[in-house]
Structure 1
Amino acid sequence: MSEGNTTVAVALIVKNEAHNIDLCLQSVCNWVDEIVVLDAGSSDNTTEIAKQYTDKVYVASDWRGFGKQRQRAQSYVESDFVFWLDADERVTPELKKNILGVINDHQPNCVYYINRLSNAFGKEIKHSGWHPDWICRLYKTSETHYSDSLVHEHVVVPNTHKKIYLNGVLLHNTFNYLYEYTAKTNQYIKLWSDQREGKKSSSVSKALGHALFRFIKMYFLKKGFLDGRHGFILALLSANVVFTRYADLWLRDYVKKQR
């Protein structure tokens, strides 16, 4: 637990994470003051597992997007600090030590960034633009919150605040199988298009151009080739996601014009 009077909560938004959430909560349950889990209507036993670690398990199945869901979860947090996790993440001992250190010796007007190391298809990805992967995950609960974005939400960092980068990594077990990747990215593709429909124009040439640039960026500029065959596959998959996003946006507009 944190020392003194300063408290820290771990907060998660989840859905159908029974295969992940146990190990995630095991990595924090013995040193945080509060655990808040907001479920989006799981059909598995995610909430039952979460209740083994905390009595602050809530359900909000009227999905309004990732940003809004995180805001809802934060509304249940009572601790001084909130530390965000996803169910497929694990906190390392070094990261735990550094989180507790900055909480117990907190400087005014600071937000804290954490370096995530992801595992995809059984391999740690140390290049390809995946690592280092600095994300803002820790801040004083009263000072900020997540954006309203449907997808790719982010912490709104006040201009008055300093960004502090912590030592230690957050382990991220993304997906083991291609169908898991496809299921997750299909959801993100739809939300990405929903957020931009009617606001952003697209075309087949834009879809191809953005996809090609994504492959070049990941595989060559971000040295994905150093991740071996995994780096090549991830660059191709990511390029396909980008192509599908822009193609979907163009097709939506095309269909509307034909009506």
Structure 2
Amino acid sequence: MNTRQQLSVVLIAKDAAELLPECLTSVSWADEIILLDSGSRDGTAEIAERHGARVFHSTEWHGYGKQRQLAQSYASHAMILMIDTDERVTPELRRSIELVLEQPASETVYSIARRNLFLGRFMRHSGWYPDRVTRLYPRSYRYNDNQVHESLETEQAKVRPLQGDLLHLTCRDFSDFQWKQFAYAEAWAKQRHQQGKRCGIAAIFGHTAGAFLKTLVLRAGFLDGKQGWLLAVVNAQYTFNKYTALWALNHASRNGRL
């Protein structure tokens, strides 16, 4: 008889007290929950402990990739499910994960479809669904070092899609969402600048227009109604911020101000 694989759910968090209870409830069936807190001041750690999570603390921030690596290092079990505090595992997804855990261990990794919330609507198009992310995997794999848009380093592993969605409360509050987008754009630009990437004025506007058309037309954002049009503008704005921030860093460096 095969022994069921055990699962560690791993999260990184900061000031997530409002989101955390529902998130942790959706994974309460896991064998272990690990939460790495980055200096929360709103009771995040205490809430996590009340829900049975093992809580660790890190006061230094080296980017999302390395933070996920550190969080995973505290996990005890062979299989990892990496989620965020604004995500929830649906019952159908739970059943799919439990079926995987009943199988013999392998080097297979598993992708999950996310349903992303934008201004009150779970998007079905616009590039926001199925928005597959590789989140269930053997602990022999780890995330890369990217400061933002980090991803799992799977090498040549077989990727198998799971049934069931991961609900992602991407944009519940528009102002908060915009601030996060700006922070991501700034971190992206700094990382690219450090890698020696360059950007001209024409590229800024080309990428911006491309992001709008890709979201609205190529990814059928218009089928998501008003939210689809608004998301196309938001994606264009985010792209504009990324490339303009990179251009500004390049310009300051050439003029000796960095």
User: How many residues were matched structurally?
Assistant: 254
Question: CA separation in 1, counterparts of 2:70 and 2:52?
Answer: 17
Structure 1 stretch displaced more, 247-256 or 124-133: 247-256
Question: CA separation in 2, counterparts of 1:157 and 1:67?
Answer: 14
Question: CA separation in 2, counterparts of 1:177 and 1:32?
Answer: 30
2:200 matches 1:182: no
8 Å Cα contact 1:119/1:172 also seen in 2: yes
Question: CA separation in 1, counterparts of 2:208 and 2:181?
Answer: 15
Match of 1:121 in 2: 119
Return the offset for 1:41.
1.1
8 Å Cα contact 2:4/2:101 also seen in 1: no
Question: CA separation in 2, counterparts of 1:56 and 1:215?
Answer: 42
Which of residues 240, 247, 252 in structure 1 aligns to 2:249?
A: 252
Match of 1:169 in 2: 165
Which of residues 149, 153, 157 in structure 2 aligns to 1:152?
A: 149
Question: CA separation in 2, counterparts of 1:89 and 1:120?
Answer: 13
Match of 2:26 in 1: 27
Match of 1:36 in 2: 34
Match of 2:200 in 1: 203
Question: CA separation in 1, counterparts of 2:166 and 2:8?
Answer: 16
Match of 2:64 in 1: 66
Which of residues 62, 83, 86 in structure 1 aligns to 2:81?
A: 83
Question: CA separation in 2, counterparts of 1:156 and 1:96?
Answer: 24
Match of 1:112 in 2: 110
Return the offset for 1:55.
4.8
Give me the identity figure in percent.
37
Structure 1 stretch displaced more, 232-241 or 196-205: 196-205
Which of residues 230, 233, 241 in structure 1 aligns to 2:230?
A: 233
When the two chains are superposed, the root-mean-square deviation of aligned CA atoms in Å is: 1.3
TM-score between both structures, scaled by the size of structure 1: 0.95
Match of 1:8 in 2: 7
Which of residues 46, 51, 54 in structure 1 aligns to 2:52?
A: 54
2:190 matches 1:194: yes
Question: CA separation in 1, counterparts of 2:245 and 2:106?
Answer: 45
Match of 2:90 in 1: 92
Q: Which runs of 5+ in 1 are unaligned?
A: none
TM-score between both structures, scaled by the size of structure 2: 0.95
- Which residue type is aligned with residue 33 of structure 1? D
Question: CA separation in 2, counterparts of 1:204 and 1:41?
Answer: 38
The runs of 4+ residues in structure 1 deviating greater than 4 Å are none
| Partner SS for 1:174 | strand
Give the 3 Å change call, closer, same or farther, for CA 206–27 of structure 1 in structure 2: same
Question: CA separation in 2, counterparts of 1:257 and 1:4?
Answer: 60
- Which residue type is aligned with residue 231 of structure 1? G
- Cα deviation, 1:90-120, whole Å, max 9, x if unaligned, reads 1111100010101111452200111111111
Match of 1:221 in 2: 218
8 Å Cα contact 1:129/1:222 also seen in 2: yes
Q: Which runs of 5+ in 2 are unaligned?
A: none
Structure 1 stretch displaced more, 238-247 or 48-57: 48-57
Return the offset for 1:232.
0.6
Question: CA separation in 2, counterparts of 1:216 and 1:49?
Answer: 42
Question: CA separation in 1, counterparts of 2:244 and 2:88?
Answer: 35
Structure 1 stretch displaced more, 10-19 or 103-112: 103-112
8 Å Cα contact 1:36/1:54 also seen in 2: no
